[in-house]
Amino acid sequence: MSYIRKPKFQHPDLQTNDLGFTRRDYEGTLTTLCGGCGHDSISAAIIQAAAEMSLEPHRVAKISGIGCSSKIPSYFLSKSHGFNSVHGRMPSVATGANLANKNLHYVGISGDGDSASIGLGQFCHIVRRRINMLYIVANNGTYGLTKGQLSATADLGSKTKAGDESLYDNIDMATLAIELGASFVARSFSGDKQQLIPLIQAGLTHKGFAFIDVVSPCVTFNNTDFSTHGYKNTWENYVSLGQIDFVPMQKEITTSYAAGKDKEITLHDGSVIHLHKAGKNYDPSNKENAIHHINTHKKNGEIATGLLYINQSTSDFHELQDTVDKSFNELSFHDLCPGNESLQDINHTFK
């Protein structure tokens, strides 16, 4: 970690967004992660994404569990709400928070230990319950905080820094999320912000459960030549679905794209995802196709990245539960306790 504060000076041409904020206003405290940790690039990507989208910081809640990954929320959006919860229990806290106030943007940050081991059950259930949030797994295939043991997402044959080989096949978080009913599933790499930033923006805009599995190398314990989660291996075996652009709803008019050249996906609020190159021939609305795509590349030792799956027709938790329009935290005492007369009316229906 660095001992100095990040200087306040910023680039004089740094753009301000619709709220008058620059990207620097979306920063958090100075990182205490190891220098070179992929997680810092995820923070930087979230900061950039939020600034470009003009997110109001006080309308964002960031929730995490335990682990290096779960420290990330300290390093972005210091003016937002935050909850650093128990190991593997971020999904429960996120579910509770979303239940209480459905009008915030929820950003859940977890890691491969937090979500694929101790919290795997919680992960499965939050996907299944379709909580409207963006769930990011900073996936480095190792337990960095406990000095580099193999995690459940380490690929078969991958080795730790100490030389231990993974004897088991990995849990593929993206495939799992698709199987369990996530309506937005993407994979990216901390080193590729051009892809990661629009995916984060699309995930934050998507209505329903959005999941991004981000390969985020652990520079201290899992960045060797014989690790499949290091920078070198990821750069070499990285297969992208091509350039992706996110155009927020209000910006649509000013940006022009050549019609027919890209695939366009319009989100519920009018924002558009543009998929270029390889992405325009890929059908992200087909579950089986997505899983097949991931597995085919995996067989070749490759990492399939990009927007792998999206389904905009599913309902989120609140719609399925048919909750009231108002968020629960805005309900008044009278709404919640309407008095004896209402109780009598209800009781009457059971007679």
Q: What minimum distance in Å lies between the beta carbon of 161 and other proteins? A: 13
Among 19, 36, 103, 255, binds other proteins (CB under 8 A): 36
Q: Is 142 in the site for other proteins (CB under 8 A)?
A: no
Shortest CB 223 distance to other proteins, Å: 7
The strand pair at 263-266 and 272-275 is best described as: antiparallel
Under the criterion CB under 8 A, does residue 188 sit at the interface with other proteins?
A: no
Q: Measured on CA atoms in the order 213, 88, 203, 40, is the torsion positive or negative? A: negative
**Binding to other proteins, residues 225-264 (CB under 8 A):** 231-232, 235
Burial 19-48 (b: 16+ CB within 10 A, else e): eebebebbbbeebebeeebbbbbbbbbbbb
Q: Is 7 in the site for other proteins (CB under 8 A)?
A: yes
Q: Using CB under 8 A, which residues numbered 189 to 218 contact other proteins? A: 190-191, 193, 217
| 11 part of the interface to other proteins, by CB under 8 A | yes
Of 17, 9, 98, 16, residue with least CA distance to 61: 98
Residues 327, 91, 43, 161, Cα dihedral to 10°:
180
Nearer to other proteins, 185 or 196 (CB): 196
Q: Is 159 or 193 the residue whose CB approaches other proteins more closely?
A: 193
Cα–Cα distance, 71 to 32 (Å, whole number): 9
Given candidates 133, 136, 173, 219, which one binds other proteins under the rule CB under 8 A?
A: 219
Residues near 340 by Cβ (< 8 Å), separated by ≥ 6? none
Nearer to other proteins, 49 or 182 (CB): 49
> In terms of CB distance, is 41 or 160 closer to other proteins?
41
- Type of residue numbered 80: S
Q: Distance from first CA to last CA of the chain, Å, rounded?
A: 67
Residue ranges binding other proteins (CB under 8 A): 1-14, 24, 31, 34-38, 40-41, 43-44, 190-191, 193, 217, 219-220, 223, 231-232, 235
